[in-house]
Homo-oligomer: A and B are copies of this chain.
Amino acid sequence: MDMTNLIGTLAGGLTTIAFIPQVARTWKTGSSRDISLFTYLLFSSGVLLWLIYGIRLQALPIMLANGVTLLLSVSILALKVRDILRTRRRIRAADQRTL
């Protein structure tokens, strides 16, 4: 593998595994208030398109990297949505207690 391809492979590896600590942190704390819902909606949509792009080109590295990134990104998105729904339920319950 030449230097340019080595750099590209390293780049793809890093931007893929980068989201593992975020999934771990959000899973552990259950808190995602500081995480932007819109960022993970846009990012997951973009990574899905990268995956489709890789499938159309039959380019295995693009498929693999984006398949894994999509899983991680959608996990963060799901944890964020769960946190939003929980917070809403808590507010509704508190409202009913004050009635």
A15-B43, A18-B46 given; A4·B53 CB < 8 A:
yes
Tell me whether A8 and B39 are in contact (CB under 8 A): no
Q: Determine the distance from Cα of A92 to Cα of B32 in the docked complex, in whole angstroms.
A: 26
A24 to chain B, nearest CB (A): 8
Q: Within the assembled complex, what's the spacing in Å between the Cα atoms of A15 and B25?
A: 22
Q: Which residues of B contact A15 (CB under 8 A)?
A: 42-43, 46-47, 50
Q: What residues of chain A have their CB less than 8 Å away from a CB belonging to chain B?
A: 3-4, 7-8, 10-22, 24-26, 29, 31-36, 38-40, 42-43, 45-47, 49-50, 52-53, 56-57
Identify 28 residue pairs between A and B in the complex whose beta-carbon atoms are under 8 Å apart, listed by A's number.
A3-B56, A4-B56, A4-B57, A7-B52, A8-B49, A11-B49, A11-B53, A12-B46, A12-B50, A13-B46, A14-B45, A14-B46, A15-B50, A16-B46, A18-B40, A18-B42, A18-B43, A18-B46, A21-B39, A21-B42, A22-B39, A25-B36, A26-B36, A31-B33, A31-B34, A33-B33, A34-B35, A35-B35
